Structure 1
Amino acid sequence: MTKIKETIQIVQYHDGLAKGIAKMWNLSRDSWGGDTRVMTEEQVKKKEANSDNIELYLAMDGEEIAGYCGLSEYKEDTGSLYIPLLNVRPDYHGEKIGKKLVLKALEKTIEMGWPRLDLYTWPGNTKAVPLYKKCGFFWEDRDDVTHLMNFIPQLINTPLLKPVFAELDWYDSSVRPIEVKPDGMKENGFTYYEYSWKNDGKFARVQVERTSRGISLIETDEFLLQIQMADHEIIEQVKQEFQIKFVNKTASPVSFKAAGSGNERVEYKVEKVLMVNDETIISEIVTVNPGEEPSAWKTHPHVSVNVWINGQECELKLGVFPVQPSKIEASYSGNLSFLNKVTSIDLEVKNNLKEDAEITIRIPEAEQVSLNNKEFSMNIPAGGRNTVSVPLTVKKHGFYQPVVEISAIKQDGFELKFEQELSVAFKGLGEKFGGETKDFWHIFNGLCQVKIRKRDLLMIAAKNNRKKQYLAFFPPKLGRPYSNEFTKKKPESVSWEVEDSSILLKIVQDSEEMQGLRLTQMVELYGDGIVQKWVEIENQSKEPHHDVAISSSIYHEQLERTYFPIDGQVIYFSENRFLEFGDIKPSSVTENWYFTESKPEPIGISWSTKTKAEPDGWQFSIEDEIGTLEPGDKSATEQITISIGAFKQWEDFRAFALESSSAEKMVTASELAFELNGVVAGPGSDFSAVLKTHRTSYLDGSLHVSVNEKELYKTVITTEEEKTSHSFGLDPKQFEPLSILEGKFTTAAMTTRLVELVLSPSGGVSYCSSTVAEFSTHEVTNGCITIKTAPNFYPGIFSVNVNGSEWLDTSFPEITAKSWWNPWAGGMKTVPSGLTAFSLMKEKNTAYHVEKLDLQGNTWSGLAVSTEINEHAQWKGVHYVQYYLMLPGVPLLVSFTEVKDNGGKNLSQESWNTDFFVSGTHLTDVSVNMTESQYTSKYRAGIEELPVALKTGSFISSESASERLYFVSDFYSDGPLAYTNKHAQQIMNPHSAMPGKNGMQTAPSFLVFDERALSARLLEKLRRIKF
């Protein structure tokens, strides 16, 4: 073999090498498409502790780790080991380290007696594919994956080939053509992979048939041995001939023996002993009985014959693809079915014969459906297909599984008769049932369904029938160390039970690697879209099992608009860049849930706080520690909950996961966060900002920060600094009263614009009182906004004047009637639900100047309007205060309500209504302006009656004022509404109290006055202000 760099040593993994492996991965990111994720020593230790690798080989150059190669048991098929991951550090490319690692894995496979070694790669991996092929791998020609198989271990361990490899080096003597494309010689539906060797006049070649994964031909200078058949695709229960051909190339007679017999699916028998002078052909009959359709992922049914040549043995194999004369697949295009309504199912009919045929399908009577026509005939060319629509009326929801009679009349008039079972699910609201198709086990409950793939026990939950789904659960792994044995092992039993509100699927499997342990997968499906999944385990052996653990893994691709609880915050990952689990630092997940607003419905996943859950590469793993199981002991994992559209908002799903009775609202942080240490930058305050990434990558780029379009700060951050966050100070003197702080972070790959809102108070707030028209009035001004109240006139504020322009419409000092309202005072107020203006005016209303501290310690000044209810029967005894607060010089008014005395009334479910009336010099001066609207963008007041939803970012303009009025509703708003008619423009905000406050306090809402266009994203940052 060619010489490999002598300083490279192949060693086995231990935890002491974890730091070096992390360094290797971080230096190898460009080899994996420019991945920017950062691997740590601790992550490596956790990953390898939970790995199902049999061995992990590392290429070491002194203290440096130059390469990585795992070796595990292949989970998709039997009879193979697998290289799950192979990597060589880029600065060691060209040193043949990859070759050395692959050959080491191959050597171990041979040593352990496994016949095959598999791996996956990607088609564009043009550097590695030639290496793989030179090391004995063949690239399987498939559309779904790039799968390579290596049969050298089988060949090396075949006694008949040992003399061959005594003279020919399987690596150096190879003359197999190496091309970067799928391999295989195709003949009569078979695909053959051919090895060939030549050296000093010595020659040998071996063919391996793809679907049997076995040797089908051996040719040397002494003989030719081959098993063959006319067609790979054969009709079930129809006798077919196969042949074993042997050619003796020597001058001496050869002892030849062949023996083999089939099984329940494949019936044949070979028993021959003879001496061969030159050539012999053995012909035998094989019949394949009905059974499961073979999968491209697994070894097919096959003929297997052991042959001895002069006493040296080899096994010949030839796979087949058994089919019926015609294949029929039934489908129903609808998601729900409706009783006693004519609909249809589609039957896709394929002619598997080698000639044209007339196919007739006869569908039997069934209680579940009513058929107009029970017989359908069609002429289909050889290998062709046709789709026929079958009209029917659904009489009963559930699995419709008729056994249909099929006849295929060939060109010579010969008729083949057979049966097939069709499977179609007719879902209905509230209907619970289970069923089985050729590929899946299913359970249904209303709109929702769960299916378990028979091939590998992959679980998929959805509300639709689409073949492509983005969320799946892998079968549980039992450990430690963990094993993938349950992906290949057929269940002992599968059953389902219908409960009152759910349907429960049970899958029972016995472990071979931990003898005596029986696992029962439990999947419970509720009609509202909730799926609960857990595992029950029992020790049926006579020996204890210690340190038992069970790991469940989630695969979830195209994670967009996703919320993850990270480092005590809720981080929002936008739809612009899909999230992968590997983007999240494992130790950073601080709560037991995540939620994605994906289409067609939002999905939430939660797990118990007793389990250990963390991202694990492209999977998300949830681990339960079972501990010791004595003989006869039973235990169970904690439940994993999947919400398929049952929760629409992440806050509600979070409350469910945390078992909280109320959903707390909070401002989310971005995946690349530009955060300030407060919203308010007071004079002389220590004000700072931080740029932070919540993905597992280092900051690498230039940062430019400006305030009100003036550059304030700039810097360059490099990967070598190994920073995931960068902090810097800001001088509050640079800010205006309401400043927009903009950041632009530019990397080699992308530019991200970041924005923050800063309130910078200056000056003071003054208060005065006076008497107007016999009403005691109170007035507060902060230098740009002046607000006024007259509590004996009406419990609210009647004036908001901004820089000389009045924004509120009021009747002060006289109560009047206007349009629908009588009495009408206008202005702005917050009142309990169900309390009318008449009732309010009967109660005791007072006002006073007030100062309040927010939770960050900033002082806000303004007016408090107090109402003590003594007359109204429903609200008697309740005392509440409305606050209207400002910061000095800042064009912003905050409003919230606090209950001082609930009068013994339970307020937790009550709602509050805030409203205010807007006007200019004339009502028609006022317009409601919608941002980001695809339709109408502006509504003028005072023209016609119009109710309009007022989304954050929309604003009110007045021809009487230069500023815009932005209303930012509180977190618990039902959605503000702008209502106008010929007489008034009203803004209404129905809302509830803050959870956890027992109905005693509402969250703040804000009136912002500014000439600039302020986005919803910017304005929503005000909701971080709390009192």
Structure 2
Amino acid sequence: MIKEFHNEDAQKLADMMNASDEAWPGGFTHGMDFTAEGLLEDRKRENTLATYCAWDDAAIVGIAEITEFWRDTNVLYVDFLNVVPTHHGRGYGRDLLITCVEKATQLGSKRLDLHTWSGNMKAVPLYKKTGFFWVPKTLVYMRNFLPLILNLQVARPFFQKHNWYATFKRELEVEEDDFNGVYPYHWEEDGDILHIVIDAESGGVTQFENNDFAISQKVGPAFAGEESSVTWEIRNKTPTSLDVAVISHGDEGITIDFRDSFTVSDTKVVTATVSIDPDIEIRKKEEPPHQLMTDVIVNGRVLPLVSGLRVVHGVQVTTFPEYVVITPGEQCITVILKNNKHVQVEGMITCYTTGESHPFSISPGYSEGIPFSFHAVTDCELQFVVENSLPVHTVPVRVTTGGAVIMQKGKEVILENLQARIIVSLAGGKTSVYDKNTHETVIKFVSDELGPPYWPSELFKTPYTVRMQQRNGKVRAEFTAYSKKHSTTLVRRLEMDAGPMIKMEYSFTPQRDVYVQFGGETSGAGGILTLPLKEGFVSEPTVEEDFPLGHGDLPENPGAYKEQWMCYQEDESAFGVIWEKCAKINLRSYSFPGIIMDTRNLHPLYLYVGRGTWKDVRKTWSMLHNVTAPPAEPQGIWSVNPSLVMTAEDMITAHFTLSNRRKRPLKGTVNTQPFQVSRGSPFVFEATFETSDIGIAKQSLQVETDLFSREIPVTVVRAGKKESKVLLDEGGTIQVDNGLYRFEVAPSYYGSVIFWGTDVNHLLTPYPEIKQLGWLRPWYGGIHPIVFAEKRDFPGRMHKEDFSYSITERKVHDISWKGVTVTSTLQEIKGIQVETSYLTTGYSNILAICHTLKNLTSAPHSLYSGMSFYVQPDGSLANATLYYNRPQLVQRKRTPYGGASVCREWAAVQGSSTFLTVLGNSIYTLDMEKDGAHVFTPQKRNIPGNSQVSEFNYVVAARSLEESQAYRVLRDLQWD
């Protein structure tokens, strides 16, 4: 039984869809079950004209949905068709399709379309049996003209006597239906026949035959500026003469005014001439063709015949590049000539603008490229004429000196700079974004959708107008369209300059209670989508992990996003969207997320197009929102944390959390423990590792799912020994001894660490004196904080400040760290207090340093701060060798020549047996020739009023370069 869907049936529909995986290549649910709530929410977004369900007793076993087709007018589309696999072959799919065809007929549509895939061996024959034709050279687009045919006046007598489905005769091979530009329909029963041929270009009837007569209309090739012909053949199949009248006319640019009437007793052939205007619009293949329409009246019954004329130039003229944007001076473009005729074409092509001419000779169907040179310093047009051809082919040329340019070419408006090209079609406003660095279209079918429901949008078939401005390297385009559905005029403004950021604004007149969605499809090649969720940044391939799936797979509430941007990245190209405020984020399968805004509360959108990554998009967001973006590193859509654990014992049992940031559940085992996780429902488990020596050990967790086996690396830091104590001795200086290393702090001496080591001091210091080191004076050495207002003021004047101290204890990973905190309330930079904690744990080779700036005022401050590390590994400068990454590993030995470098995260200075390692966000190394190699960690810090910022630095005594680099994981420690 076939019935229309009702909302109360949503759970039964969800059950059917969840049981349909095996019927779809790659599965249907993709591992995330449909819910009644999710289906009803999805239905709000789509303008579904009818939804039919197939029932088997109390269960839904199939569904078919019909919407308007997004491209052509008066065409419907089977947006979704599915029958649960257990009920295949039992006629449910047939009955659903028949219902769809009859609904389209009832609504007066001229066609019903659908898409499927070539390997759908069960369904394609069924589609063909219900009237669908596989359009040649598509994967797989099918058209069904039965709604037009069933409504034909001259066909009704046959269908009043015969069932259209039962009497339809058709070959059902799973292959393209290539019938030389037509689609034949044939019915036959009890001696009655009906044969109707549809013209593939126009979608109209071009041939009709029943028991009484046969009529056909055929047109010749259509070339702009030339004549064609149309031929009608009328064949009488009865003993009685037919009274026939033929009235024919054409679209704009197609001239035919043929009227004639006659009597046909046997067969009559009539031919007329069709004139085609030389300046006729040349339409793209996705646009409807020009039409030649004829009313044939047979014994008082009207039969409309329609033929599509896909008008082309006999010699087609295009250019390479297609859009000519150049720098000033001598330039060359290639003019491409294609012979669209069936005979050899010879002639001359001339550029009227420059006078340059070239002969050509081209075989049928082939193309030839001809170079033309020209000189341009301002925007201009190149005009080309082909010998013996009337149309003048105009090529707009835009000259840029580094800014943006704008041009209109036919129905396309192009905004272009050195990074990107944006193409907006005035036929529906569809927009594509082309990256000029990778020569790939990164986002396509970007469109304006009003709703809900949003899909399919009426604006896809709405003409747009444009106003363009170009001034001082900046361009602006204003696209306007009228929504009949919502009775409002939409304006979309695009602004582009020389940079990678494009500003986009909407306005509506008058304002309506409606939302606008901006989004599009990715290239489909499997790029990376990065999203700044509140629970962590996520970067994930869009194809590899079916990411995102839509219907709630990722949060749609903008409040679930930590920052207002997202980025699609492919190869070296980044496409980002940045917003100020939006109502919802629509994450759709294999599409760039749609940004939905309330038209009564509109804010600009910003696009980022060009070389780069999500970091560049985020940097642009930070600039637009005037905020400082803290460091962040995206994870995959699922992760296990922490990746770093610390212990002071021979064995550690650590707690881990396996998190999934999407709604689609992840199922499997981790270290043989079963789990199922989805967004908001993590799995917490324990794992035990053995440790022996102090240092870094690499361990792993084994994750097994049906799809993959993966080892998750875990770094175990053996920081010391729990049984060892940290001893503190307070005197003029404070001595801290952990049983392996000791350090000594002199609060009154710049708040510095003056000793760190075992028997030998690894730090270079003149304590208790104040001396000069190279160009540095006064110089205190050791380890101490630095603060300064301007970069040129390095290393600052904190030696002028007073310090106090306190004994400190902190915990990380349940390990106690003890030491000294030195504090200075600055007098030279009023309102700033500096706290520096020096910490160690029992029997550890690590000195942890927490450097904190406190803003004691309500006014924001911007400062540079960090730590200075003057080192002499193993107590000597003689052979101190410096290592750092920039980005490759760099080594600097002692020479008479110094140098400085800025790097990140890690630097080490090698002594006779120790690699003294310094870790920090920003590293500045200073090679001071004979005076050694030293390390600093200054970075700019913006401190809001009455707040503070902190950073941890570490000094580690490593035994090898490899171990030194391994200690970089300490930067991931999260302190209590």
Please, what TM-score do these two structures have when normalized by structure 1?
0.83
**Counterparts of 2:516 and 2:223 in 1: how far apart (Å)?**
43
**Secondary structure at 1:470's aligned position in 2?**
strand
2:705 aligned with 1:766: no
**Counterparts of 1:1022 and 1:45 in 2: how far apart (Å)?**
47
2:358 aligned with 1:376: yes
- Out of 134, 139, 143, the position equivalent to 1:139 is 134
CA offset digits 1:944-967 (Å, max 9, x no partner): 756566555786666614xx6664
Equivalent position amino acid for 1:387 in 2: G
Residues 417-456 of structure 1: pairs in structure 2 closer than 5 A: 417-431=390-404, 433-444=405-416, 447-456=419-428
Match of 2:326 in 1: 337
Shift of 1:610: 4.5
**Secondary structure at 1:122's aligned position in 2?**
coil
**Secondary structure at 2:43's aligned position in 1?**
helix
2:965 aligned with 1:1005: no
- Out of 754, 757, 763, the position equivalent to 1:801 is 757
**Counterparts of 1:801 and 1:574 in 2: how far apart (Å)?**
48
CA change 1:237–1:823 in 2 (3 A) is same
Residues 66-105 of structure 1: pairs in structure 2 closer than 5 A: 66-105=61-100
Contact 1:662/1:996, CA 8 A, preserved across alignment: no
Contact 1:109/1:116, CA 8 A, preserved across alignment: yes
Contact 2:225/2:390, CA 8 A, preserved across alignment: no
Shift of 1:208: 1.6
CA change 1:607–1:259 in 2 (3 A) is same
Shift of 1:570: 2.3
Residues 501-520 of structure 1: pairs in structure 2 closer than 5 A: 502-514=474-486, 516-520=487-491
- What RMSD over aligned residues (CA atoms) do the two structures have, in Å? 4.0
CA offset digits 1:78-123 (Å, max 9, x no partner): 2311112222233333333322222221111011110101111223
**Counterparts of 1:947 and 1:122 in 2: how far apart (Å)?**
61
Match of 1:3 in 2: none
**Counterparts of 2:116 and 2:855 in 1: how far apart (Å)?**
69
Match of 1:621 in 2: 594
Contact 1:595/1:653, CA 8 A, preserved across alignment: no
Shift of 1:333: 8.5
Shift of 1:467: 6.9
**Secondary structure at 2:8's aligned position in 1?**
helix
**Which range moves more in the overlay, 217-226 or 903-912?**
903-912
Match of 1:523 in 2: 494
Please, what TM-score do these two structures have when normalized by structure 2?
0.87
**Secondary structure at 1:475's aligned position in 2?**
strand
**Which range moves more in the overlay, 257-266 or 947-956?**
947-956
2:295 aligned with 1:326: no
2:65 aligned with 1:65: no
- Out of 600, 607, 621, the position equivalent to 1:642 is 607
2:376 aligned with 1:394: yes
Match of 2:259 in 1: 271
- Out of 453, 456, 469, the position equivalent to 2:441 is 469
**Secondary structure at 1:476's aligned position in 2?**
strand
**Counterparts of 2:966 and 2:228 in 1: how far apart (Å)?**
71
Shift of 1:74: 0.6
**Counterparts of 1:20 and 1:1022 in 2: how far apart (Å)?**
52
2:920 aligned with 1:969: yes
CA change 1:809–1:465 in 2 (3 A) is closer
- Out of 273, 282, 304, the position equivalent to 1:285 is 273
**Which range moves more in the overlay, 457-466 or 115-124?**
457-466
Match of 1:672 in 2: 638
- Out of 818, 842, 847, the position equivalent to 1:893 is 847
Residues 568-579 of structure 1: pairs in structure 2 closer than 5 A: 568-573=535-540, 577=544
Contact 2:428/2:463, CA 8 A, preserved across alignment: no
- Out of 226, 229, 239, the position equivalent to 2:219 is 229
**Which range moves more in the overlay, 317-326 or 747-756?**
747-756
Q: Which runs of 5+ in 2 are unaligned?
A: none
CA change 1:868–1:492 in 2 (3 A) is closer
Equivalent position amino acid for 2:595 in 1: I
2:634 aligned with 1:661: no
CA offset digits 1:961-1011 (Å, max 9, x no partner): 4xx6664423xx3x5557585652323333122654678534223345667
Match of 1:538 in 2: 509
**Counterparts of 2:196 and 2:878 in 1: how far apart (Å)?**
90
Equivalent position amino acid for 1:716 in 2: P
Shift of 1:808: 4.1
Contact 1:448/1:527, CA 8 A, preserved across alignment: no
CA change 1:184–1:562 in 2 (3 A) is closer
Contact 2:861/2:942, CA 8 A, preserved across alignment: no
- Out of 332, 350, 355, the position equivalent to 2:343 is 355
**Counterparts of 2:917 and 2:84 in 1: how far apart (Å)?**
55
Shift of 1:882: 2.2
**Secondary structure at 1:154's aligned position in 2?**
helix
Equivalent position amino acid for 1:863 in 2: V
Match of 1:631 in 2: none
Q: Which runs of 5+ in 1 are unaligned?
A: 1-8, 366-370, 409-414, 540-544, 627-634, 705-713
**Counterparts of 2:217 and 2:967 in 1: how far apart (Å)?**
73
**Secondary structure at 1:917's aligned position in 2?**
coil
**Secondary structure at 2:850's aligned position in 1?**
strand
CA change 1:575–1:203 in 2 (3 A) is closer
Shift of 1:607: 3.0
CA offset digits 1:503-542 (Å, max 9, x no partner): 332222223334x432223333344332233332224xxx
- Out of 10, 31, 40, the position equivalent to 1:18 is 10
- Out of 302, 309, 315, the position equivalent to 2:298 is 309
Shift of 1:138: 1.0
**Counterparts of 1:724 and 1:96 in 2: how far apart (Å)?**
42
Residues 104-123 of structure 1: pairs in structure 2 closer than 5 A: 104-123=99-118
Contact 2:873/2:916, CA 8 A, preserved across alignment: no
**Secondary structure at 1:330's aligned position in 2?**
strand
**Counterparts of 2:21 and 2:274 in 1: how far apart (Å)?**
53
**Counterparts of 1:360 and 1:331 in 2: how far apart (Å)?**
19
Equivalent position amino acid for 2:974 in 1: I
Match of 1:346 in 2: 334
**Counterparts of 2:69 and 2:635 in 1: how far apart (Å)?**
41
**Counterparts of 2:437 and 2:244 in 1: how far apart (Å)?**
55
Q: How many residues align?
A: 953
**Counterparts of 2:615 and 2:260 in 1: how far apart (Å)?**
70
CA change 1:766–1:860 in 2 (3 A) is closer
Match of 2:837 in 1: 883
Equivalent position amino acid for 1:86 in 2: L
- Out of 42, 53, 61, the position equivalent to 1:47 is 42
CA change 1:731–1:1018 in 2 (3 A) is same
Match of 2:891 in 1: 939
Over the matched positions of the two proteins, sequence identity in percent amounts to 18
Match of 1:699 in 2: 666
**Counterparts of 2:286 and 2:423 in 1: how far apart (Å)?**
19
**Counterparts of 2:165 and 2:916 in 1: how far apart (Å)?**
78
Shift of 1:305: 1.2
Shift of 1:283: 0.8
Match of 1:709 in 2: none
Residues 148-159 of structure 1: pairs in structure 2 closer than 5 A: 148-159=142-153
Match of 2:206 in 1: 216
Residues 191-202 of structure 1: pairs in structure 2 closer than 5 A: 191-202=181-192
**Counterparts of 1:460 and 1:11 in 2: how far apart (Å)?**
40
CA offset digits 1:295-317 (Å, max 9, x no partner): 33233112121223333332222
Match of 2:862 in 1: 908
Match of 1:710 in 2: none
CA offset digits 1:868-917 (Å, max 9, x no partner): 666xxx65786523222234566543323234677999741445454443
Match of 1:708 in 2: none
2:514 aligned with 1:548: yes
**Counterparts of 2:688 and 2:739 in 1: how far apart (Å)?**
19
- Out of 655, 659, 664, the position equivalent to 1:688 is 655
Shift of 1:151: 0.9
Shift of 1:180: 1.6
